[in-house]
Amino acid sequence: MQLLPMERVTTHTLLGIRFWDRLTGQVVTDGLEVKAQRLKARSQRLGKPVLGRSTPSGTIAFFGLAPSERPIDADQLLWEPEPSKEDVVIDLVDRSGRFLPTSFVAQAPFKGIFRGQGDWLASNTSLFRPEAIAEEAVGVQLWSAPTRPIPPGMAVIRAQIVIGAGADAPPAVNALVQVRATASPADGFDYYGLTDDRGILLLPIPYPPIPDPSTPETPYPPLGQQTFPLTLTIYHAPGLAQLPGSGRPDLEMLLNQPPVDIVIHRTGDELEFRPSLTVNLRFGRPLILGTALSSSSTEVESVLRIQPA
């Protein structure tokens, strides 16, 4: 009996994207629903949205995004002739509720795996905070949602951020929050989170390194008594333009918002605000942020207020 080889058809796609969770350091595909659609002048969607497919390499691939995709011969070059480039809007929803919905613009065709970097991005930076070293990005960064389960061994920062001093102060939607360790042994400890549509922040982080004792004779305090000073900075710009058809601003715009002042104390309508907030994270306890009711009071509100830009 002679075995005949099975028929094989090779097809290429013009865009494949990898997504990455910085907290765990893992590439993520499970639970993600990712769609791509051609975009004209960043103002009008073209054609039908294409649902991405997860591949064994951890990439979300979009087949049928452009008419130029076709079966190819095994010895034919994938990118010869190379199709003309065009903008593509990407919409991501996590059906598991771990990550915030996200929209951003990429370009197709893109050789290799798109990881959130590209010279067409308006800011000429990347879809990362902190920004990844050029050509060393793992994948487009995902952002923790308030409903995300906290991985074991991680610290967690929570807040509801609002704008202004009023009792009905509006939520700071899509605010970017930076947390940086202030102790010198933790140089480079820099984490970011985004608020949701209610201004709620969930920012899981690893614990900063424990500083060495001031003298060799000074014993370490028990782990449960360790505290870690952190510096908090908030970036926000209200009324950012939304990508057409997505209902969300471009992720690139969210990551390039200007810094705003944080209200440290509020006495009635009188506010004291600063560019940053210094807080102490205690081991084993969630850090819940709020604006103090006065300069002499330890009582804090259930919300953290920012000064309107």
Residue-wise pLDDT for 99-140, tens only, equals 999 999 998 888 888 988 877 777 667 888 888 776 678 899
Q: What Å distances lie between residue 37 and 29, 70, 95, 249, 305, CA to CA?
A: 19, 18, 20, 16, 37
More confident residue, 224 or 27: 27
Average pLDDT over residues 35-58: 90
Q: What Å distances lie between residue 134 and 121, 138, 187, CA to CA?
A: 14, 11, 20
Do residues 309 and 165 touch, judged by C-beta distance below 8 A?
Answer: no
**253, containing H or E segment:** helix 251-254
Residue ranges of the chain that CATH labels 2.60.40.1120? 155-306
Q: Looking at beta carbons, which pairs linking 218-226 to residues 24 or more positions away fall under 8 Å?
A: 223/283, 223/284, 224/283, 224/284, 225/283, 226/282, 226/283
Fold of 10-141: Immunoglobulin-like (2.60.40)
DSSP assignment of 89-135 equals: EEEEEETTSSB--EEEEEEES-SS-B-SB-TTSTTSSBS-SSPPPTT
pLDDT in tens, 247-267: 889 999 999 999 999 999 877
- Provide the pLDDT for residue 9: 45
- Provide the pLDDT for residue 304: 95
More confident residue, 86 or 215: 86
Do residues 8 and 189 touch, judged by C-beta distance below 8 A?
Answer: no
Percent of the chain with pLDDT over 70: 83
Average pLDDT over residues 224-245: 90
Average pLDDT, the chain: 85
Average pLDDT over residues 276-294: 91
Ramachandran sector of residue 169 (left: φ over 0; alpha: ψ -120 to 50; beta: rest) = beta
pLDDT in tens, 235-252: 999 889 888 888 889 999
Angle, CA of 10, 11 and 13, to the nearest 5°: 150
Please count the other Cβ atoms lying within 10 Å of the Cβ belonging to residue 35: 18
Strands 200-205, 190-194: pairing kind: unpaired
Residue 112, both tokens: 């290799």
Highest mean pLDDT among 70-74, 75-79, 154-158, 289-293: 154-158
Percent of the chain with pLDDT over 90: 49
Taking the CA of residue 131 as centre, how many other CA atoms within 13 Å lie in the half-sphere pointing to its CB?
12
Q: Which residues pair with residue 265 across a beta bridge?
A: 272, 292
Please check the confidence at residue 37 and state whether its pLDDT lies above 90.
Answer: yes
Q: Cis bond leading into 238, ω under 30°?
A: no
Please check the confidence at residue 27 and state whether its pLDDT lies above 70.
Answer: yes
Q: Which CATH number fits domain 155-306: 2.60.120.10, 3.40.50.720, 2.60.40.1120, 3.30.413.10?
A: 2.60.40.1120
Taking the CA of residue 54 as centre, how many other CA atoms within 13 Å lie in the half-sphere pointing to its CB?
10
